Amino acid sequence: MPRPGFVLDVDRSTPPTLVWRGEGMSLERLPADRSRVIYAPEPLAAIDDIDGAIRRALLEPMDQDPLPVQLFPGMKLTIAFDDISLPLPKMRRPDVRQRVIEAVLDLAAEAGVDDVHLIAALALHRRMTESELRHALGDRVYDAFEPRGTLYQHDAEDPDNLTFIGATPEGEEVEINKRAAESDLLVYVNINLVAMDGGWKSTATGLASYRSLRHHHNPATMEASHSFMDQHRSELHKSNWRMGKVLVDAGVKVFQIETTLNTDTFPTPFEFLSKREWEWTAKDRGAYLGTAKSLSLAPTRLARKIFHSIEAPHQMTSVQAGDVEAVHKRTTEHVYAQQLVEVQGQTDVLTMGIPYICPYNVHSIMNPILVMCTGLGYFFNMYRGRPLVREGGVVIMFHPTQPDFHPVHHPSYLDFFEQVLVDTTDPHEMSKKWEERYATDEWYRHLYRTSYAYHGVHPFYMWYWGSHGMRHCGRVIIVGGDPAAVRRLGFVPASTLDDALEIAADVVGRSPTVTHLHTPPIVMADVR
């Protein structure tokens, strides 16, 4: 029986806490008697018969006819699936997407459907490589569809393959992938790693164009989402849902399949990363020491390669299919069951170690903009109710924050760092002054469409992602970060946690309460 999440009050006997620092880690001693550590619930049990559960979900969907009933010869069937940004880390083969898509294809074949397209729902993310597609879909699916040109990746800059559907009463334009919109049935295959994933966000974001995305990927929407993970208080969620209604009204028929995973994140020999430190065995301690020491000696490039080769053992805990909204409601319950931890009250200082990976640097580099996004966009938003840190409080991150950018994946990020952040760190100001120039830059557009680059506007979205956190916090400090890069982000560099607390003192006083978000594995705070 897995144990639920846990909030540890730190006292003098509490062992130091494991803190991620990008491709490294350290043990940090938090101030006694005023600190607490939030630990994720232990991984829920996986479904015993995963393929059977998938088949049942397809045959007994929620608020829709069984999938076989919706399939018929001569129909246009499109299967869209989540891209490389999920799950984190990538999971061991077979990937959930492969299992679900193979099940859908089996039913399609039984029904005599032969016009089937598979589309990676990239939105403005980078295209996936062949090996990444093979990992997600399996060789059988890849080899059957890719050579025929029926497995491809959504291109949000291809005017010939986008369709304008309509607009919401709020004036939000809905423009999505033409093939998906014109299909008799769109099957969307999700991996719902966090509560924000899935629902109408799958289609209205994953298959949308910049014209459409800009209506919710903007500072106003992001600042008003409290949090992204709480759909009742997320403007991002509401905007996507309004767009979903436009899709439904236009006759776009979606069969939604959502899956949840447990938080079994790290394989041997990295299991200690998921454990609570006072339960570490001698072997765990040895593994920590060996790992931390080796990483500190290894060139960053090597450490990065080691970490990105990790394949997580996480397994499926639920699968549900059918009507988008009904499915998503159930999915969210499963996500919460795995990730939610009840936390009493807010804190003056929230600390977080930023790991080597986020949704936007798989097989890539966690550049400074992604550090900001992971800390203030993701970890800060892992709450329901109230933010973990009080308004005007301090966030302390741990990360090297080197000004290091992947030249293929993140070309516009580098320009954003060198040009936009030099000018302003205010999301609203940069949105007005700079966003369009980056969104329409022909070179970025070319690289997004033909290479493996994130869209030119993507660094702006990452910055906006953290806008609620930036506005909420009185100060953001990065421990161990490159001082110039940290200052460029508008944050304050510190060399140690003690230094950071000293720097925070003029904002939160000399004896602030401290809460450490012990993640990964993913944990979400239900703040009362």
Partner 1 sequence: MKALQVRRNVARLGLARVASALAPSAAVRVGPLEHASIDPPELPGPGWHRVNPRLAGICGSDLSMIEGHASAYFDDWVSFPFVPGHEVVGTLDDGSRVVLEPVLGHEARGFQPPFPGAAPGDGDDYAHLATGPLEPGIQTGFCCSTGGGWSSELVAHETQLHRIGDDVPDARAVLVEPLAGGIHAALKAHASPSVRAAIAPIVAVLGAGTMGLAAIAGLLRYCPGVRVVVGARYPHQQREARRLGAHEVVPAGELVRAVRRLAGCHLVGDHLSSGAHATIDAVGSEQSLADALRITRPRGRVVMMGMPAEVTVDLTGLWHRETELVGAYTYGTETMPDGSTARTFHLALAVAEAIEAERWLSATYPLADHVDAIAHAAAAGPRRAIKIAFDLRRDV
Name the residue among 277, 281, 287 with its Cα closest to residue 29. Answer: 277
Nearest distance from residue 303's CB to partner 1, in Å? 25
Nearest distance from residue 418's CB to partner 1, in Å? 5
Nearest distance from residue 226's CB to partner 1, in Å? 35
What SS3 state is found at 311? coil
Nearest distance from residue 442's CB to partner 1, in Å? 7
Nearest distance from residue 443's CB to partner 1, in Å? 4
Nearest distance from residue 448's CB to partner 1, in Å? 13
Q: Between 81 and 448, whose beta carbon lies closer to partner 1?
A: 448
Q: Between 69 and 422, whose beta carbon lies closer to partner 1?
A: 422
Nearest distance from residue 414's CB to partner 1, in Å? 7
Nearest distance from residue 437's CB to partner 1, in Å? 8
CA distance 497 to 510: 14
Name the residue among 279, 154, 255, 222 with its Cα closest to residue 427. Answer: 222
Q: Which two tokens stand for residue 329?
A: 């409601």
Q: Are 191 and 197 in contact (CB under 8 A)?
A: yes
Type of residue numbered 80: A
Q: Between 298 and 414, whose beta carbon lies closer to partner 1?
A: 414
Specify whether the backbone of 35 is left (phi greater than 0), alpha (psi in -120 to 50) or beta: beta
Q: How many CB atoms are located within 10 Å of the residue 253 CB?
A: 13
Q: Between 216 and 406, whose beta carbon lies closer to partner 1?
A: 406
Q: Between 374 and 412, whose beta carbon lies closer to partner 1?
A: 412
Name the residue among 237, 210, 231 with its Cα closest to residue 125. Answer: 210
Contacts 24+ apart (CB under 8 A), 71-74: 71/107, 71/108, 71/111, 71/113, 71/185, 72/111, 72/112, 72/113, 72/184, 73/111, 73/112, 73/113, 73/114, 74/115
CA distance 22 to 355: 4
CA distance 170 to 233: 18
Nearest distance from residue 419's CB to partner 1, in Å? 6
Nearest distance from residue 290's CB to partner 1, in Å? 37
Q: Between 309 and 419, whose beta carbon lies closer to partner 1?
A: 419
Task: List, as one string, the DSSP characters of 37-81.
Answer: EEEPPPPPPPPSSHHHHHHHHHHS-BSS--HHHH--TT-EEEEEE
Q: Between 249 and 418, whose beta carbon lies closer to partner 1?
A: 418
CA distance 7 to 313: 25
Contacts 24+ apart (CB under 8 A), 95-98: 95/135, 95/136, 95/137, 95/138, 96/191, 96/259, 96/261, 96/316, 97/136, 97/137, 97/189, 97/191, 98/136, 98/137, 98/138, 98/141
Q: Between 157 and 441, whose beta carbon lies closer to partner 1?
A: 441
Judged by the rule CB under 8 A, the positions of this chain that interact with partner 1 are 411, 414-415, 418-419, 441-443, 446
CA distance 338 to 263: 7
CA distance 244 to 253: 11
Nearest distance from residue 165's CB to partner 1, in Å? 31
Q: Between 45 and 408, whose beta carbon lies closer to partner 1?
A: 408
Q: Between 432 and 446, whose beta carbon lies closer to partner 1?
A: 446
82, 87, 89, 95 alpha-carbon torsion, rounded to 10°: -80
Nearest distance from residue 494's CB to partner 1, in Å? 23
CA distance 379 to 265: 17
Q: Between 342 and 436, whose beta carbon lies closer to partner 1?
A: 436
Nearest distance from residue 164's CB to partner 1, in Å? 27
Q: What φ, ψ does residue 90 adopt, rounded to 5°?
A: -55, 150
CA distance 379 to 22: 14
Strand partners, 354: 21
Q: Between 413 and 465, whose beta carbon lies closer to partner 1?
A: 413
Strands (E), 326-440: 340-343, 347-355, 383-384, 389-398
Q: Between 94 and 403, whose beta carbon lies closer to partner 1?
A: 403
